A and B are shown apart, each in its own frame.
Chain A
């Protein structure tokens, strides 16, 4: 897995609550048997018209936000289906972190396994970040995973929670399956007793 240490980037504001994974990547794109190319279909129904032309009002089609690597989303991001295609689409597009006040459980798990950092902030910081992204689209924030902080322009720094295991995995780019395979002895023992 790709590691995550620090990231300095502009924000892409998407002030929508309860963004479900069907919006992140609609089901008709789940027929792929590999992980590639999902980024082109990220937010497909909000991003493109039926004929494939870009919808001008959608934030990913706004040149101001081109190249930004942090998605700033509304509350409860990633609810709904368990599809890991959602983080594949987000990372495929170029996002490396998502900031929200909360994340759905399965989405959070899936994101962490793909080097995509889910950053939970309090409601006030969340509002401040939206103000920043909308008023100064060029402003950058700095994410530092080791210290679990987001630094806003102007000197404000906020911390975010992450469990120690996920943090270490992200920092080192640890392969979780490799870690799990190291429990072979205990698994054999469990199977013998059950």
Chain B
């Protein structure tokens, strides 16, 4: 009898092209997503070596990071960004790659459009020069971020050199309570294991609370696996997955679909398969989460008080916490509830999909944004934007006093004109609260779309459950 295998092992084993002793495996890549920021040097490398893109049809490019989110008829003012965008267009043309460019109706954040167009499918290996490629693991794919040298390798060979990672079983028992979402699950997990807790591992999220989530909520969890140090996060495909993929533009059709579904049904981890590490979280105990510090592991329940460095025994952790609180302008022991905020950002590859926008809109409907507050709602793709507008969500946001922008990474990364000002506080649905991530000197509280919408209404850090 064959050994019971995990979801990860099944996909890994099915993609080994070659394995030499004492060397990393040569792993075949089914889907390579490309964006303008981490690819130019890779294409330059191909030109210097006179290489082609081996499988252009397995390569999909978009523009999302440095693209402005203002009115698309206005010119791109940042000359460097404009050059980078033009370079992506040239590279896609020269190498014959499908590009969802500035004028494409399907352009958007790479991790939003991959699933949306049906490129992302269970059982695949998926890479992108972007750490949040882990998002696609929600479909039961092995998806992880790579560096630019590796982008060049995949372009040239459709393969990567990879050492086999370890596996991490994250079980989420129970059921989420009202006002608590998948963002709160992942923030709670990272607060527990720390930003390096998953290093060297691929996480598989399992358990009843995970099975109950929609695909979009699953993507939110897998998206932030990298914030816990894991390169990839995965969720086994089930009927919810199959239902989501079905009928999408690049999903298999007809007989190929039937075959694919029967393959996908064999992917889930076998009973008795072993993981290298495991942890259990109880969804019943979770409440809305928020970060107080300068990495995603510095998170707590929104109702908690900021921790005190004097109570931390490890000297380097004590130092890290003091440094973070100093940057954030927060005092040990202070509650965050009621803390004033200047900006609310609803967007990013973590929380910019239609269900995220619906959640935020459900709270903002017939309410007003607090005076003096800047609230930006940035859909993850032009498709999400169209859908939201068809449902009238844009009107809800606008009438409340929020900005409704074009699709892109926007204020998640602050390299496209959208940023917070030095010293300002933002409640953000994105994934990173690193120093300066949303603009030099800016201070980020990471939270769920509901918590962000609640802050938009009150102008303060708020427990969204009090407004539902």
Q: Mark B307-345, 1 if CB is under 8 A from A, else 0.
A: 000000000110110010000000000000000000000
10 A-B residue pairs with Cβ-Cβ distance under 8 Å, sorted by A, are: A16-B320, A27-B65, A50-B422, A76-B229, A80-B226, A81-B131, A84-B38, A106-B146, A109-B146, A164-B22
* B196 with A79: CB separation less than 8 A: yes
With a CB–CB cut-off of 8 A, which chain B residues contact A181?
Answer: 156-157
Within the complex, the shortest CB–CB distance from A8 to chain B, in Å, comes to 27
* B229 with A79: CB separation less than 8 A: yes
Contact partner, A18, options B65, B83, B153, B195, Cβ 8 Å: B195
In the complex, what residue of chain A is closest to B46 when comparing beta carbons?
A: A177
**A22 with B436, Cβ < 8 A, contacts A31-B78, A76-B199, A113-B147 known:** yes
With a CB–CB cut-off of 8 A, which chain A residues contact B383?
Answer: none
Tally inter-chain residue pairs, CB-CB below 8 A.
Answer: 174
With a CB–CB cut-off of 8 A, which chain B residues contact A113?
Answer: 147, 149-150
* B17 with A20: CB separation less than 8 A: no
* A106 with B145: CB separation less than 8 A: yes
Contact partner, B149, options A17, A33, A84, Cβ 8 Å: A84
Number of interface residues of A (CB under 8 A): 50
Q: Does B26 contact A (CB under 8 A)?
A: yes
* B153 with A80: CB separation less than 8 A: no
With a CB–CB cut-off of 8 A, which chain A residues contact B65?
Answer: 27, 30
* A165 with B195: CB separation less than 8 A: no
In the complex, what residue of chain A is closest to B28 when comparing beta carbons?
A: A190
Binding site for A on B (CB under 8 A): 17-18, 22-24, 26, 28, 37-38, 40-41, 44-45, 49, 54, 65-66, 78, 80-81, 83-84, 87, 129-131, 145-150, 152-153, 156-161, 163, 165, 195-196, 199-200, 226, 229, 231, 295, 297, 316-317, 319-320, 323, 413-415, 422, 432, 434-437, 440-441
* A176 with B161: CB separation less than 8 A: yes
**Knowing that A23-B436, A82-B147, A176-B149 are A-B contacts, what are 11 other residue pairs whose CB atoms are under 8 Å apart, sorted by A's residue number?**
A15-B316, A17-B319, A26-B440, A27-B413, A27-B437, A83-B147, A113-B149, A165-B23, A176-B161, A177-B149, A177-B152
Contact residues of A: prevailing secondary structure = loop
Give chain A interface residues in 116-164, CB to chain B under 8 Å: 163-164
**A183 with B295, Cβ < 8 A, contacts A26-B440, A45-B435, A84-B149 known:** no
With a CB–CB cut-off of 8 A, which chain A residues contact B84?
Answer: 31-33
Within the complex, the shortest CB–CB distance from A120 to chain B, in Å, comes to 11
Q: Mark A29-55, 1 if CB is under 8 A from B, else 0.
A: 011111100000000010000100000
* A18 with B295: CB separation less than 8 A: yes
A102 to B200, alpha carbons, bound, how many Å? Answer: 11
* B40 with A17: CB separation less than 8 A: no
**A82 with B22, Cβ < 8 A, contacts A31-B80, A194-B28 known:** no
A87 to B18, alpha carbons, bound, how many Å? Answer: 28
* B434 with A82: CB separation less than 8 A: no
Binding site for B on A (CB under 8 A): 15-18, 20, 22-23, 26-28, 30-35, 45, 50, 74-76, 79-84, 102, 104-106, 109-110, 113-114, 163-165, 176-177, 179-181, 183-184, 186-187, 190-191, 194
**A183 with B18, Cβ < 8 A, contacts A45-B435, A106-B147 known:** yes
Query: Which of B145, B152, B434: most chain A CB closer than 10 A?
Result: B434
With a CB–CB cut-off of 8 A, which chain A residues contact B161?
Answer: 165, 176, 179-180
**A23 with B153, Cβ < 8 A, contacts A31-B66, A79-B196 known:** no
